[in-house]
Structure 1
Amino acid sequence: MSASLQKKGIVVTRPKEQSAELIAELQRLGARPIAFPALQIDAPDTWHSLDDALDRINEFDWAVFTSRNAVHFALSRWQSRGQQDWPKKLRVAAVGRESAKALAEFAIEATLAPKRAGSESLLDSPEWQEVAGQQFALFAGDQGRELIEQTLSQRGAAVEKVFCYRRVVPGANPTPLLHAWARGELDAVTVTSPEIFHNFYQMVGGLGQRWLKKTPIIAISPLTAEAVTSKGLPAPWIAPEASNAGLITALEEWAQEQEKTA
């Protein structure tokens, strides 16, 4: 058990459906995880885009999953419609290890999953340098980044964006969190995407934003860290990889550094 995280109050801003593993690991390490989801994941308003792509899945050369959510919604829908085994000839790309693990839960092995999660890493893969004429199904949520779609299109591929889920800002009351902050019970905040950070920043209001200037933030990626510094906040600690394990490593490094300077 890590002594460095003992009794530390760590805010977990991931969507409720995705936070259980991180919360359990923080509890195992003796920390006090504080769940405050800054993003809510809902089913799409209509299944038309997803159903249409699933009906034509054999027409594609690649199926690309941009997140665990994309995997969950797309493949749960596939199963619920009674469709048969996932096509073996279809190459499957995951944006990172977490998405690849989600695919494995549906007995699908990712053909391509970069060690360092992110659209940039996926686009740097040798397999995606010569893609002219290839057909891509890009399974994603609304309001997501367009980098993969734009870059593959520039390289001559045909990319169809398939909407699998919606992102919604939760209507949570921040008052209990702000009270805990005022009592000195919040030691660090974890953020796992630029969108989650921006939502959290708005949800906690002016008072919370002032507290954030004094509270260490642990970001899951350099892109998320840029969102933090764009608000004029101190540079956050950055996870060495975009995963729960990476977040824990960064949290432990922060806590150990805090102990040294205490």
Structure 2
Amino acid sequence: MNCQLRGLSVLVTRPADQADNLCRMIEAAHGRPLRFPAMEIAAMEDPQPARQLLGTITPGSLLIFVSANAVVHAFPLLPNELPLELQVAAIGEATAAALDEYGLPATLVPEQRFDSEGLLALDALSDMQNRKVIIVRGRGGRELLRQELEKRGAAVAYAEVYERRVPARNSANLVRGWEQMVDAVTVTSSELLDNLIQLLGEEGKRLLQITPLVVLSERTAEHAFDLGCRKVWVTDVAGDRGILEALCDIRNNPE
């Protein structure tokens, strides 16, 4: 892809340790990434409940990882040996890539929508009668996946292996210089958008509402519109490549 951002300044809101690749891609396309992490990821203070649950994995179980963070924080808690008949699902491509890095390739990955709805649309999950399912995730989050799998007959439990926090950040300088510093904003989840608005305050929210915003899903786009954002781009493909393509579209078609 021949993408030239031509100096476009992009606010990158991912957690600090997950922003490097996107920032490098923006720089390679002659854009200017501005890091402003709106979320922190931390291991659970007490990992024992998740460790004990993951220790109950049996042949035929389905292990669902909802994010790359879930993969990273779950692996120290997994038993040394896993059943050969274990089925592993990833919510999207980034999660599947993280599983590959740890030597546990996903056997189920959505083909189009990289979210709970996309995973639930897979034929392999249509009949879950008497299946044991462990959803590996952070503390809290959507209930759709569990609710729908239980309707299909599965016994579902959560292994919560990390928690998300709003960082302690001062946004005064960012808000003060927004019109000179920020041409576009990227957020990768509805929760991240909520955190960003909380950190920016009322004046920052007003500025965000009129700034081009790149999101990864229609669900997050709907949430952004509900919050008053007027210029929302949804990526055509998942991951950083999709974000970069959307930023190029913003650069070439700002209105």
Whether TM exceeds 0.5 here: the answer is yes
Q: How does 1:85-164 map to 2 (within 5 A)?
A: 85-116=81-112, 117-164=114-161
| 1:249 aligns to 2:245 (yes or no) | yes
Tell me, in whole angstroms, the C-alpha distance in 2 between the residues paired with 1:44 and 1:232: 34
CA contact (8 A) 1:4 1:256 kept: no
CA contact (8 A) 1:135 1:159 kept: yes
Deviations 1:138-194 (A, max 9, x none): 001112111100000011100011101011111111122113314x12100001000
Q: What secondary structure does 1:131 align onto? A: coil
| 1:17 aligns to 2:14 (yes or no) | no
Tell me, in whole angstroms, the C-alpha distance in 2 between the residues paired with 1:20 and 1:36: 12
Report the CA distance between 1:86 and its aligned residue. 3.8
Tell me, in whole angstroms, the C-alpha distance in 1 between the residues paired with 2:54 and 2:123: 27
Tell me, in whole angstroms, the C-alpha distance in 1 between the residues paired with 2:80 and 2:206: 53
CA contact (8 A) 1:67 1:95 kept: yes
Out of 124-133 and 240-249, give the one that drifted further: 240-249
Q: How does 1:39-54 map to 2 (within 5 A)?
A: 39-54=39-54
% identical aligned pairs: 34
Q: Equivalent of 1:170, from 167, 190, 200?
A: 167
Deviations 1:8-35 (A, max 9, x none): 1100011112111111111111111011
Q: What secondary structure does 1:45 align onto? A: coil
Q: What secondary structure does 2:230 align onto? A: coil
Segments of 5+ residues of structure 2 without an aligned counterpart are none
Tell me, in whole angstroms, the C-alpha distance in 2 between the residues paired with 1:202 and 1:251: 24
One-letter amino acid of the structure 1 residue matched with residue 56 of structure 2: R
Q: What secondary structure does 1:5 align onto? A: coil
Corresponding position of 2:201:
205
Q: What secondary structure does 2:128 align onto? A: coil
The count of residues paired between Structure 1 and Structure 2 equals 254
Report the CA distance between 1:2 and its aligned residue. 4.9
Tell me, in whole angstroms, the C-alpha distance in 2 between the residues paired with 1:8 and 1:34: 10
Corresponding position of 1:214:
210
Q: What secondary structure does 1:50 align onto? A: helix
**Scaled by the length of structure 2, what TM-score is found?**
0.95
CA contact (8 A) 1:198 1:227 kept: no
Corresponding position of 2:228:
232
Deviations 1:96-136 (A, max 9, x none): 11100000010111000113311101001000001110000
Q: What secondary structure does 1:73 align onto? A: helix
Deviations 1:219-258 (A, max 9, x none): 1111111111011221400011331111111111121113
Q: What secondary structure does 1:254 align onto? A: helix
CA RMSD of aligned residues (A): 1.6
**Scaled by the length of structure 1, what TM-score is found?**
0.92
Corresponding position of 1:33:
33
CA contact (8 A) 2:58 2:83 kept: yes
One-letter amino acid of the structure 1 residue matched with residue 173 of structure 2: P
CA contact (8 A) 1:228 1:235 kept: no
CA contact (8 A) 1:64 1:93 kept: yes
Segments of 5+ residues of structure 1 without an aligned counterpart are none
CA contact (8 A) 1:134 1:158 kept: yes
Tell me, in whole angstroms, the C-alpha distance in 1 between the residues paired with 2:108 and 2:87: 8
Tell me, in whole angstroms, the C-alpha distance in 1 between the residues paired with 2:124 and 2:131: 12
1:3 to 1:105, Cα distance in 2 relative to 1, 3 A: closer
